[in-house]
A = this chain, B = another copy of it.
Amino acid sequence: MTLAPESNPKIQDTPPFRIPLSDADRAFLSGLGATLRRYAPHETIMRQGDDEGRAFIIHSGWSCVHTDLPDGERQIIDFPFSGDIIGLRAYQSPSYISLTSITKLIVFEVPAKALTAAVEHSPRLAGTFLSVAARQRAILVEHLTNVGRRRGAARAAHLLLEIGTRLGDGQRLASHYECPLTQYDLADALGMTAIHINRILKDLRELDLLSFRHRTVDFINLPATKKFAGFNPSYLLLERI
Contacts and interface: CB of A to CB of B under 8 A. Distances in A.
Interface residues of A, number: 46
Interface in A178-200: 190-191
Contacts of A103: none
A138 interface: yes
Interface stretch (A83-91, A163-171, A203-211, A212-220): A83-91
Contacts of A143: 144
A133 B140 CA distance: 13
**How many copies altogether?**
2
A131 B90 contact: yes
B145 A69 contact: yes
A134 interface: yes
Nearest to A234: B94
Given A75-B144, A89-B238, A90-B134, 8 more contacts: A75-B145, A88-B130, A93-B134, A96-B234, A120-B126, A137-B137, A140-B144, A148-B190
25 contacts: A67-B142, A69-B230, A70-B230, A74-B149, A75-B145, A75-B148, A75-B149, A77-B141, A77-B144, A89-B131, A89-B134, A90-B126, A90-B239, A91-B127, A91-B239, A96-B234, A119-B126, A120-B123, A133-B133, A137-B137, A140-B141, A140-B144, A147-B147, A147-B191, A149-B191
